[in-house]
Chain A
């Protein structure tokens, strides 16, 4: 390999080094009892280093973080439970040392805002989508029926109700009339195809209209 390529590989390996293994805990801090040490590590990752403010004391190289790590271990060795250790530090440095804010009156807004916002946004999205759909259907001239259409439909329904059922194989005069009418497309359909580009997606809309037309004669 040429030298520049070698250098490049070296750099890549450097960046590929797992960042997770870089921790601030010094060998002299580690407790002999692995169970206690594991608890100390777990507590440390939940406590904020108040000097650096966005690192846990487990990650921070600050002197205060080291002191707090040693304090955590000291309390554990003295026989404190995990909660007692955390309370001990919270009593001195306040809730701010907790990286996970507790659920209490002054944090209700903090905890509740995200779900409330998510719900509000979802509700608005559904409302807008429904309104859009309603307008799209109205734009196709399918709904609502004009008074003329309504009158014509009522007349047809009345005639169906009045007509006697046809003998098998024989086309009823009403059905013949209906099929005749469908051969020449109704004016409404033309207006629908004209209006479709308004929504900017005529390719998608047109098949919709055709499907409805093809389906109609079968009923």
Chain B
């Protein structure tokens, strides 16, 4: 099993990193979307004819 330790270590690292990053990016990405749409909405309102 340890003969191919590099691939085992890489597989463990991939599963661990990907699980963590999925949760983290899901959380922070939702905030990014909210902020992006708020900025775009604000810009659109300010450009609208009064």
Chains A and B are bound partners? no
B-binding residues in A (CB < 8 A): none
Using a CB–CB distance below 8 Å, which chain B residues touch chain A?
none
